Amino acid sequence: MSYLTLHNIQKSYFLDRQEFPVLKGIDLSFNLGEFVSILGESGGGKSTLMNIIGGLDRNFQGSVNVNGKQLDHNNEKELDRYRRETVGYIYQSYNLINHLTVLDNVLVSLDMTTLDKAAREKRARALLKEVGLVEQAGKYPNHLSGGQKQRVAIARALASDPKVIIADEPTGALDAQNTAEVLKILDNIASQGRLVIAVTHSQIVADAGTRIVHMENGRINKDIALRPAYKPMKTDGTIKSRLLPAIVSYKTALKHLKFNFGRNALIVLGTTIGLFSVILFNGIGNGVSKYIDNQVTSISNPRLVTVAKYDKKTAGNSSAMAAMSTSATAGGTTSNLTNAQIKRIEQLKNVADVDKSYTVTAATVKDGQKTVTLSTIKNWNNTANTDNLLKGTKPGIGEIVLDKADAKKINKDWRKVVGDNIAVSYQAENKAGKMVLVKANVLVSGVAEAKNSMGMTNLTAMNTGTLTHAMVKANVSTLPTSVSVVASSTAAVSGVKKRINALQSNGKRVFTATALTSFIKTVKTYVNLASTLLAAIASISLVVSALMIIVSMFMSVSSRVKEIGILRALGQSKKDIRRLFTSESLILGVTSATVATIIAYGLGALANMALSSLANFAIVQISIGNVVGTFVIALVIALIAAWMPSRRAAKMNPIDALAAE
Ligand SMILES: Nc1ncnc2c1ncn2[C@@H]1O[C@H](COP(=O)(O)OP(=O)(O)OP(=O)(O)O)[C@@H](O)[C@H]1O
């Protein structure tokens, strides 16, 4: 039984629906060990027949039987496998892959075998040695002569140990000496028991074989045996084929990217700029948000809720700042909170502490001979923060802490004021409605300054007991106009605020509670909005990057049409081709994202260093989330960019692709 048989092969081309029959019923049988030359007039259909035998053409009538089994031309996977395992191609124009070295060109075929890496390389080198090119293994095809290129192509065709070698005008571009050498190699291949089928115009080639088949007018008109065929090789090959592993596609893509380094470096640069801007703007957003947090919490306790009596007139003006400035002039009556009301607040869920707040305005302070007027004196309660003390301690009974600005009014050398005894007095209305003087002699226990408030917050505060004692002595009401409530945790603040606002008496609302956190939230929302907006503007450049990758991919596909044909002929599937280009795009995307991350971290660190004298805080804070997000964006861009070009590449007809210039 013959190894390869063709039954009634017919094929026509159609131009403008007009049929041009090329093969009109070919019946042929080939045996392993034969070196068959197919001769015939130009345009007679020899190459067409070779493409059918080689499993590249699926569009014909008739059948091809290989080793007793009919090839199913409708089964693409079976044909891929047939080309991978059974057939090796040699072309007139060599069809080597220019961006791969000689060794890698041979390995392309071996990558689809089950041999391990070392064995693949060993075999590739052995084959190159056989064709006398082992010294040239590291060279690129452009640096080889025509004869050398054809010998690389032969080594590649033999790599997967195929039974059938199809050679289309193998010596068409070679001089006499190289022709003789190539023919010797082909004869040697046949002598190994393989089937060599060579299409040729050359009588010299034809005479070198064991048999000549002559085609005319789409039919075989002569079939001449020149000499006996060689002994056939065993049909169960030792080298098994496998599907191309994904890693090989990635490695090949990487090699191609390196080969066109300049162009790809520019694309990476463009994409990097877009990605980097997105990371940086997000990092600035994070940093500024945290900076605001930090600043605000250093002025005041974030768990604080300020509560005043609900007043319809000021309702709506409930920002924290408004509440903070609610002047609770000690001694007033209409807006005072009663002890019973304060108790109601104390009993609410998640309320950790409730302190009365008093604010005394226009107090006179006498220190020895010096008399000064202070804008406000508060009581030292749970809103106070000992971190703000520059010198001394918080005020105990009979003591006061002065704001640095107030202390300076008394003595330019403000540190010296600590330890002074001062007389404080201010005017207030007593319970009988008369204006009286509230007086207290106190010791200055410390000097404080609000960090980061730029002098907006005055911290002069008297011990609460001492202040209320002085008020009681003057018969002034000690009911406060506001209380500061500390929630059990920052998370509980908004709940506490809601519960206080919801308290009612006789069906009417009692309190207005405001929390600093809600104000911070609003500011942070604006900051986030601004940074997101900037990042969004930056991401416009990502669209440009995506277009650049698309263009580059299309260019890559266009310039590699022939390579696509070669890879398909070697047995790579449509999926392998698609993956080759997708992986190239993904490598570009991941490289850009990596470079962008490194630059963003680097520039962020530099910016933080430069800004450290202005604000002792890292203004650029790039989170892991930002980086992960950037990689996701880069991968999505890469996949979108690769989608169309890689589909186009995969869909190419391998015969047309091989015919490309
Ligand atoms: N894709 C195609 N579409 C239309 N016609 C085609 C196509 N490919 C080949 N042909 C035609 O089919 C005929 C056979 O072509 P083929 O290349 O098989 O001949 P050949 O014998 O190999 O020629 P040569 O010896 O010159 O290489 C020619 O007339 C050619 O113009």
pLDDT tens per residue across span 441-454: 999 999 998 765 55
274 and 381 assigned to the same domain: no
445: three-class secondary structure by DSSP: strand
What value does the mean pLDDT take over residues 190-198? 94
**pLDDT tens track for 337-364:** 888 888 888 888 888 888 888 888 889 9
Q: How far apart are CA 257 and CA 264, in angstroms?
A: 6
Nearest CA to ligand 1 atom 17: 47
Q: Considering the domain boundaries, does residue 76 fall inside one? A: yes
In the predicted model, is pLDDT for residue 141 greater than 90?
yes
Boundary (domain end) residue, out of 465, 482, 506: 506
Identify the band that residue 456 occupies on the pLDDT scale cut at 50, 70 and 90.
Answer: low
Residues contacting 241, CB < 8 A, separation 6+: 81, 84, 85, 112, 113, 114, 160, 571
Q: Which of 23, 26, 47 to mutate to test the pocket of ligand 1 (most atoms within 8 A of CB)?
A: 47
3-state SS assignment for residue 474: coil
Q: The complex's ipTM?
A: 0.95
Strands 35-40 and 195-199: parallel
Spatial CA neighbour of 553 closest among 573, 590, 578: 578
The model's confidence at residue 518, banded by pLDDT at 50, 70 and 90, is low
Helix axes 261-299, 624-651, angle to 10 degrees: 150
Tokens found for residue 618 = 């890292």
Listed in sequence order, the residues at least 6 apart from 603 whose beta carbon sits closer than 8 Å to its beta carbon are 276, 280, 620
**What does the pLDDT read at residue 299?**
61
Q: Does residue 218 share a domain with residue 325?
A: no
Query: Residue 502, SS3?
Result: helix
Residue 437 makes CB contacts below 8 A (sequence gap 6+) with 425, 426, 427, 474
Cβ–Cβ < 8 Å for 158, 131? no
Number of domains in the chain: 3
Q: Are residues 502 and 631 located together in one domain of the fold?
A: no
Do strands 87-91 and 164-168 pair parallel, antiparallel, or not at all (unpaired)? parallel
613: exposed, middle or buried (Cβ count in 10 Å: 0-12, 13-18, 19+): exposed
Joined tokens for residue 214: 């002559």
> CB–CB of 431/399 below 8 Å?
no
- In this structure, the answer to whether residues 224 and 309 fall within a common structural domain is no
- Whether residue 283 is found in the same domain as residue 358: no
Question: Which of 218-232, 365-379, 515-529 has the least mean pLDDT?
Answer: 515-529
Q: Higher model confidence: residue 38 or residue 295?
A: 38
Do residues 285 and 422 both lie within one domain?
no
Q: Are residues 220 and 262 in the same domain?
A: no
Indicate whether 590 pLDDT > 90: yes
330 pLDDT more than 60: no
Same domain, 368 and 474: yes
DSSP E strands, 187-335? 195-199, 211-216, 219-225, 304-309
Instruction: Tell whether 516 is covered by a domain.
Output: no
Residue 325 has pLDDT above 50, yes or no: no
Its domain, for residue 606, covers 257-295+522-659
88, pLDDT greater than 90: yes
Query: Would you say residue 249 lies in a domain?
Result: no
Mutation test residue for ligand 1: of 9, 11, 12, 13, the one with most atoms within 8 Å of CB: 13
Least confident of 237-246, 309-318, 387-396, 497-506: 309-318
Probe residue for ligand 1, chosen from 20, 199, 221, 655 as the CB with the greatest number of ligand atoms within 8 Å: 20
Cα 147 to middle of ligand 1, angstroms: 26
Please tell me the distance between residue 541's alpha carbon and the centre of ligand 1 in angstroms. Answer: 48
Candidates 587, 585, 583, 596; CA nearest to 549 is 585
Asked if residue 490 and residue 558 are part of one domain, the reply reads: no
Statement to judge: residues 542 and 597 lie in one domain: yes
> What does the buried/exposed string (b/e) look like for 500-513 if buried means 16 or more CB atoms within 10 Å of the residue's CB?
bbebeeeeeebbbb
SS3 content of the chain, % helix, strand, coil (to 5): 45, 25, 30
593: nearest Cα among 557, 556, 642, 638: 638
Q: 401 and 448 in contact (C-beta within 8 Å)? A: yes
How many Å lie between the centroid of ligand 1 and the Cα of residue 552? 33
In a domain, 252, yes or no: no
- Residues 6 or more apart whose CB falls under 8 angstroms from that of 176 comprise none
Q: Looking at the structure, do residues 479 and 557 belong to the same domain, yes or no?
A: no
Could you tell me the sign of the dihedral formed by the alpha carbons of 596, 602, 607, 608, in that order?
positive
> Is the confidence at residue 627, as pLDDT, over 60?
yes
% the chain with pLDDT above 90: 37
Contact residues of ligand 1, CB 6 A cut-off: 13, 22, 40, 42-48
pLDDT digit string, tens, across residues 461-514: 999 999 999 999 999 988 888 888 988 888 888 888 899 888 888 888 888 888
Which residues, in sequence order, are bridge partners of residue 442? 422
CATH number of the domain within which 224 lies: 3.40.50.300
Does 427 reside within a domain? yes
Residue nearest (by alpha carbon) to ligand 1 atom 14: 45
Residue 250 lies in a domain: no
Q: Which two tokens stand for residue 602?
A: 């680097």
State whether 263 and 288 are in the same domain.
yes
Rounded to the nearest integer, the mean pLDDT of the chain is: 86
Cα 216 to middle of ligand 1, angstroms: 13
Tell me which residue has its CA closest to atom 31 in ligand 1. Answer: 43
Ligand 1 mean position to 50 CA, how many Å?
A: 11
* Shortest-distance atom of ligand 1 to CA 15: 4
- Residue 476 near residue 431 (C-beta atoms within 8 A): yes
The yes-or-no verdict on residue 536 having pLDDT over 90 is no
Separation of CA 200 and ligand 1 centre (Å): 14
- The domain boundary, picked from 476, 506, 536, lies at 506
In a domain, 512, yes or no: no
The two tokens of residue 89 are 């191609």
